[in-house]
Amino acid sequence: MRLQLADGAKLVKISTSRSLIALSTTAMALPGIASADAPPTQHTVSYKISNYKEDDLSRREAPFGDLDRYDIDVHQFQLVSPVGRNMSLQVDANYESLSGASPWFTSTGLDGQPVVNLSGASGIRDRRSEISVGSRYYLSNGSLGGNLGYSEEDDYRAIYFGLNGERSFNNDLSTVSLGFSYSSDDIFPTDAQVFNRVKKEDKQSSSIFLSFSQVINPLSSFQSAVSITEQSGFLSDPYKLRDIRPEDKTQFAWSNSYRHFFIAADAAWHLNYRYYHDDFGISSHTTDMSWHQNFADSFQVIPSLRYYSQSAADFFTNVDNFLNPVSEYQSSDYRLSAFGALSGGISFVADLGEWTATLTTERYMANEKYSAYKVTQASTALVKYYRVSLGFAYSF
């Protein structure tokens, strides 16, 4: 049904009888309004392989040991199938293999600046496998869905589920979605005995979200959503020499998305903004945009830009203080520092009938100088990475 309406410019030229068909189907299949307000009519199998490679550290940042950071290969698989007239099935499977070194602790270098000491001369090797199965039931003006997932690593296991529903109203111009998810995670660090790490810990996460989507005019739509996540349990990093965090965290996020189609350019513009705050004391702003430029009916180029900035956690320190009592919260994790990050990428999409091929490359650079927040303690070892992905999708 969606294919009939894929070219908006052609829609106005179709005959009256076809218009009636289009009228009834368009209202049911508006990805710009709701994430999934009509069951799929085809089976679609998708696969994407990606390589993620972090830049090596400099000898100034890490005076000793290995300078190599994470190099990760990611395989993603997805199957979306119709089940009967009103249901769909979705299966997602992911596999990651990683190697490289991770920050172990921080100290002061000879020049008085913080330096990082990486974990182990031989680095880390790990694998992650994940599978998630979900289903969605479609009603006349909404849908209900759920999924169940399992993720396993050498030192981590998560079991999770999610439930969500959405309802359209206002002549299908407005949609409200509501969802809940829960995850139960177990942590069992490797070499716990050798490095005096915790042997087994757990944590739980509960999350709810509420979103509102609205069609503004025939060319643009807007979505606003809030989510609240509660985490409890072991939230520290067991691989760091000194990392003590609170055992509860509440996260709040408010995201906004805008889509606009430019007829003359035959392109769609995506603009997203998110505000985030948690009770570790971290706030952040994220904004990204992308331009989906069509060429003829079978080729698309999508350049994208993203800016992110966060403040530091209340207990972040850029140099570990081992004289502090263990009852005092402390972490030198660079992800809890104040920094900014710029990233940009480009995707090339070829539509080959039943096949779609996508090639994406992306560059990400984090730096305290990019921060929109005040930086009182700059972290060392902020990440820069390249990513290349190649994906295929087949519909039948």
Whats the size of the chain, residue-wise?
396
User: Strand 44-54 relative to strand 71-83: parallel, antiparallel, unpaired?
Assistant: antiparallel
Residue from 236, 300, 332, 379 binding another protein (CB under 8 A)? 300
Q: Which is nearer to another protein, 106 or 151 (CB)?
A: 151
SS3 state at 23: helix
Can residue 225 be called a binding residue for another protein (CB under 8 A)? yes
- Containing 82, the helix (H) or strand (E) segment is strand 71-83
Give the span between the Cα atoms of 70 and 188, in whole angstroms.
21
Can residue 48 be called a binding residue for another protein (CB under 8 A)? yes
Residue from 92, 117, 135, 365 binding another protein (CB under 8 A)? 92
Min separation Cβ 394 and another protein, Å: 13
Residue from 117, 135, 257, 377 binding another protein (CB under 8 A)? 257
Can residue 253 be called a binding residue for another protein (CB under 8 A)? yes
Q: Which is nearer to another protein, 105 or 261 (CB)?
A: 261
Comparing CA positions, the residue from 51, 56, 52 lying closest to residue 69 is 56
Residue list 20-39, contact with another protein (CB under 8 A): 22-24, 26-27, 29-33, 35
DSSP string covering 143-190:
EEEEEEEEEEESSEEEEEEEEEEEEEETTTTEEEEEEEEEEEEEE--T
Tokens standing for residue 21: 């068909």
CB-based contact 250:226 (threshold 8 Å)? no
Can residue 8 be called a binding residue for another protein (CB under 8 A)? yes
Can residue 104 be called a binding residue for another protein (CB under 8 A)? no
Can residue 66 be called a binding residue for another protein (CB under 8 A)? no
Give the span between the Cα atoms of 245 and 179, in whole angstroms.
28
Min separation Cβ 252 and another protein, Å: 8
Cα–Cα distance list, 46 to 94, 147, 321, 355 (Å): 12, 18, 48, 10
Q: Which is nearer to another protein, 26 or 367 (CB)?
A: 26
Cα–Cα distance list, 139 to 165, 175, 231 (Å): 10, 13, 33
Segment near another protein (CB under 8 A), from 55-63, 112-120, 203-211, 371-379? Answer: 203-211
How many H helices and E strands in the chain? 3, 18
Residue from 81, 141, 251, 367 binding another protein (CB under 8 A)? 251
Can residue 135 be called a binding residue for another protein (CB under 8 A)? no
Q: Which is nearer to another protein, 276 or 394 (CB)?
A: 276
Segment near another protein (CB under 8 A), from 55-63, 206-214, 320-328, 373-381? Answer: 206-214
Per-residue x/- track, 318-357, another protein (CB under 8 A): -----------------xx----x-----x----------
Position 20, amino acid: L
Comparing CA positions, the residue from 112, 101, 118, 100 lying closest to residue 63 is 118
CB-based contact 276:237 (threshold 8 Å)? no
Residue list 278-297, contact with another protein (CB under 8 A): 278, 280, 282-284, 286, 292, 294
Q: Which is nearer to another protein, 35 or 109 (CB)?
A: 35
Can residue 53 be called a binding residue for another protein (CB under 8 A)? no
Min separation Cβ 80 and another protein, Å: 9
Can residue 303 be called a binding residue for another protein (CB under 8 A)? no
CB-based contact 47:77 (threshold 8 Å)? yes
